[in-house]
Amino acid sequence: MLVLLPPSEGKASSGRGAPLKLESLSLPGLTPARETVLGELVELCAGDEEKAREVLGLSEGLRGEVGKNTELLTAGARPAGEIYTGVLYDALDLASLDTAAKRRAARSLLVFSGLWGAVRVTDRIPSYRCSMGVKLPGLGALGAHWRAPMAEALPEAAGDGLVLDLRSSAYAAAWKPKGEVAGRTASVRVLHAPTRKVVSHFNKATKGRIVRSLLTAGVAPKGPAELVEALRDLGYVVEVEPPKGGGGKAWMLDVLVDEIH
């Protein structure tokens, strides 16, 4: 099972240990593309601060994030699972998982990123600010930049099992499962049961709980149908309509939640 996660906008501070080693990150086929984005981002942020803030879409209160990006090559690195914070990651709570569940997380979780493309939660990275929606002056839209290298690297990472896609639309643009891989991919929407509407906060929190439940239970569904059964066994209310026209299309699962919290 491969679980595709969005990053968080907010991030924990960089560590005090050794700095980033690009060659040590998972998915080594992404290294050249990572080097390009990293170089462009550091150069941008080391120059005109106002321009960098505008390009990165940062408010006045987040001006300090520009300076953080200038230190990406020298700042201490921490496991990505400690860097990413926010609602989804609070609900997932990687640090409190038992040893076996942590091993499953290391194997199965892949966090998408405008800067790194995608990383495992055990990959050591510094804190940064660069969303997938950014258009760097010398490079253009990051979503487009990542499509070709992702198309090479991700099918291999997906292996022959389930792909559980929990990314937001901006990060989903960087890689869309195709063909046989798409046929064993499931995306999840979290809906407020009485209204059938998506609400951002509890959408993220529930996705974090779903991943935690799967990791804790040690279940490894081989495909979308098995995932539906597993989630129902874990107490989730799931509605699904398998894609029409046979294989080659991703499944969409609706998880219904009564309370917004």
With bands split at pLDDT 50, 70 and 90, how would you rate the model's confidence at 256? very high
Residues paired with 2 in a beta bridge: 163
Query: Where do runs of H (alpha helix) occur along 57-178?
Result: 64-70, 80-83, 87-92, 99-108, 142-158, 169-172
User: Phi, psi (5° rounding) for residue 242?
Assistant: -55, 145
Give CA–CA dist 17/37, Å, rounded.
Answer: 23
Domain count, the chain: 1
What separation, in Å, do the N-terminal and C-terminal C-alpha atoms of the chain show? 28
pLDDT of 261 over the 60 cut: no
Amino acid 195: pLDDT: 83
The tens digit of pLDDT for each residue in 97-106 reads: 999 999 999 9
Percent of the chain with pLDDT over 90: 84
Percent of the chain that is helix, strand, coil (3-state, to 5)? 45, 20, 35
CB 34 within 8 A of CB 195: no
| Six-digit token string for 24 | 């040590």
The tens digit of pLDDT for each residue in 180-226 reads: 999 999 999 999 888 888 877 688 999 999 999 999 999 989 999 99
Q: For residue 81, what are the domain limits?
A: 2-257
Amino acid 248: pLDDT: 80
SS3 state of residue 42: helix
Give CA–CA dist 133/56, Å, rounded.
Answer: 9
Give CA–CA dist 10/64, Å, rounded.
Answer: 13
Amino acid 51: pLDDT: 96
Instruction: Note if the pTM is more than 0.85.
Output: yes
The tens digit of pLDDT for each residue in 24-71 reads: 999 999 999 999 999 999 999 999 999 999 999 999 988 889 999 999
The tens digit of pLDDT for each residue in 172-181 reads: 999 999 999 9
Give CA–CA dist 57/53, Å, rounded.
Answer: 6
Percent of the chain with pLDDT over 70: 98
